[in-house]
Amino acid sequence: MSRKSLWLAALIAVGGALAATLLIRFLALAVLQVPPEFPPLAGPGPTIFFTVVSGLAAVSVYALVRRMSKRPDALFRRIALVVLLFSFLPDLWLLTEGAREAFPGPRGAAAAIVWALTGGASAAEP
Q: Give me the DSSP letters along the chain.
A: --HHHHHHHHHHHHHHHHHHHHHHHHHHHHHS---TT-HHHHSHHHHHHHHHHHHHHHHHHHHHHHHH-SSHHHHHHHHHHHHHHHHTHHHHHTTSHHHHHHS-TTHHHHHHHHHHHHHHHHHT--
CA nearest to 27, candidates 100, 92, 107: 107
pLDDT in tens, 78-123: 998 888 888 777 766 766 666 666 655 565 666 666 666 655 555 5
pLDDT in tens, 31-89: 877 776 667 677 888 889 988 988 888 889 999 999 999 999 899 999 988 888 887 77
- pTM for the full model? 0.70
What is the reported pLDDT for 102? Answer: 60
Q: How far apart are CA 13 and CA 80, in angstroms?
A: 14
**Domain extents for the chain?**
3-123
Res. 27: pLDDT tops 70 = yes
Q: How far apart are CA 52 and CA 13, in angstroms?
A: 10
On whether the CB atoms of residues 89 and 25 are closer than 8 A, the answer is no
